């Protein structure tokens, strides 16, 4: 999702063999009986369009994630902070030494600083969707809690990631929210939910031996059901070209309503993504809701392929971020395709303000808006 995929060139990547995630916290509030799992206690993962309290980000500082092109990235982040604060608060994980400059850049970008909070949470990288917690909410009381999954930097590709693994317990401390720990490797960008029991994911990612080689597909599904409160799991196949996360769903297909999915397509049959996305579209058309109905599927064309230093990037308009009253859509300095994507996404969210956000420099890190962010649901009874 994003992804949280860090953008190193292939030459900088370490082995993709499974690496055991570093975990310093011994507290595992849900590691005991199955009766203590979030789902058994009444929690579920809300849809992204449900009310949010804040968006969490992790401030960029790792030059290796944007090799040779890091300089514009903090400015890009500041502009994203500014865009989010139009709609809701932003909470930023950043080591103390990074905060003064980050605050200045956000102020220069006209962010509403009354809605920005910095937390002294050092990180290895900036991909909060994947190293941050996945929040859940109690169906009756409205209590918000966080689920803390193992994180191994997309199959051990980019060590070290020990600091990133400490972000969920750090957020637990500053928020006072209950934390449920699961030792299964799971990144937030690899899943998408509709808040009513359905979850989208990909075989390339969740069944990849560099994540959980000791777990079967059935065991992975059970973990998702127990910790995220989902009931129906829909599997797509391969991810888009250039995605170093091994097929994160938030670069391909996203729910936009309980029975609606917006999915990427590549009309150009000569393009590498054409067959991959056509096969996923064919699967989507076969999926059925629990009531036996077809999903409402909206096709979203890909931007024109491009890259840096002869490395292709996984640019995708599906990496949008839903916020309170709005949707932020990544754009890539392609006026025609960008405008068309915004138009299509606006049609999916007619009651929200859809805003394009320039992510041309950010995508060199192999991820954009959804990959860098994680939403914290608003507490209280659901509408």
Write out the catalytic residue numbers. Answer: 371
Q: Are 301 and 334 in contact (CB under 8 A)?
A: no
Report angle CA 356, 361, 364 to the nearest 5 degrees: 120
235 phi and psi, to 5 degrees? -105, 125
Q: Are 199 and 234 in contact (CB under 8 A)?
A: yes
| Per-residue H/E/C for the chain | CCCCCCCCCHHHCCCCCCCCCCCCCCCCCCCCCHHHCHHHHCEECCCCCCCEEEEEEECCCCHHHCCCCCCCHHHHHHHHHHHHHCCCCEEEECCHHHHHHHHHHHHHCCCCHHHEEEECCCCCCCCHHHHCCEEEEECCCCCEEEEEEECCHHHHCCCCCCCHHHHHHHHHHHHCCEEEEEEEECCHHHCEECCCCEEEEEHHHHCCCCCCCCCCHHHHHHHHHHHHCCCEEEEECCCCCCCCCCCCHHHCEEEEECCEEEEEECCCCCCCHHHHHHHHHHHHHHCECCCCCECEEEEEECCCCCEECCEECCCCHHHCEEECCEEEEEECCCHHHHHHHHHHHHHHCCCCEEEEEECCCHHHHCCCCCCCEEEEECCCCCC
Report angle CA 260, 265, 270 to the nearest 5 degrees: 170
Nearest to 342 by CA among 326, 323, 356, 358: 356
Within 13 Å, how many C-alpha atoms sit on residue 291's CB side? 6
């Amino acid at each position: 999702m994003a992804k949280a995929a860090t953008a190193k060139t292939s030459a900088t990547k370490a082995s993709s063999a499974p690496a055991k995630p570093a975990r310093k916290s011994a507290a595992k509030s849900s590691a005991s009986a199955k009766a203590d799992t979030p789902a058994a206690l009444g929690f579920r993962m809300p849809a992204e369009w449900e009310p949010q309290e804040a968006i969490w980000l992790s401030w960029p500082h790792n030059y290796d994630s944007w090799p040779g092109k890091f300089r514009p990235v903090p400015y890009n982040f500041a502009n994203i902070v500014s865009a989010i604060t139009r709609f809701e608060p932003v909470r930023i994980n950043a080591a103390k030494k990074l905060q003064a400059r980050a605050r200045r850049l956000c102020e220069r970008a006209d962010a509403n600083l009354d809605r920005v909070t910095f937390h002294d949470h050092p990180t290895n990288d900036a991909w909060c969707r994947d190293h941050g917690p996945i929040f859940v909410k109690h169906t009756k009381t409205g209590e918000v809690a966080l689920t803390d999954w193992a994180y191994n930097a997309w199959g051990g590709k980019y060590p070290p990631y020990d600091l990133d693994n400490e972000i969920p317990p750090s957020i637990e401390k500053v928020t006072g929210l209950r934390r449920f720990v699961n030792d299964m490797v799971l990144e937030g960008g690899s899943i998408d939910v509709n808040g009513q029991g359905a979850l989208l994911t990909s075989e390339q990612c969740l069944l990849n031996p560099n994540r959980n080689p000791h777990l079967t597909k059935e065991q992975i599904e059970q973990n998702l059901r127990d910790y995220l409160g989902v009931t129906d799991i829909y599997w797509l196949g391969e991810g888009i070209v250039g995605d170093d996360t091994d097929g994160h769903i938030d670069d391909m297909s996203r729910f936009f309503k309980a029975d609606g999915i917006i999915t990427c397509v590549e009309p150009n049959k000569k393009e590498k993504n054409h067959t991959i996305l056509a096969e996923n579209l064919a699967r989507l058309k076969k999926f059925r809701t629990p009531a036996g109905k077809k999903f409402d599927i909206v096709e979203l064309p890909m931007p024109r392929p491009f890259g840096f230093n002869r490395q292709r990037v996984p640019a995708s308009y599906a990496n949008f971020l839903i916020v309170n009253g709005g949707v932020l859509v990544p754009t890539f300095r392609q006026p025609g395709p960008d405008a068309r994507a915004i138009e299509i996404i606006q049609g999916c969210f007619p009651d929200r303000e859809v805003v394009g956000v320039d992510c041309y420099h950010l995508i060199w890190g192999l991820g954009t808006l959804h990959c860098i962010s994680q939403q914290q649901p608003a507490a209280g009874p659901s509408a």
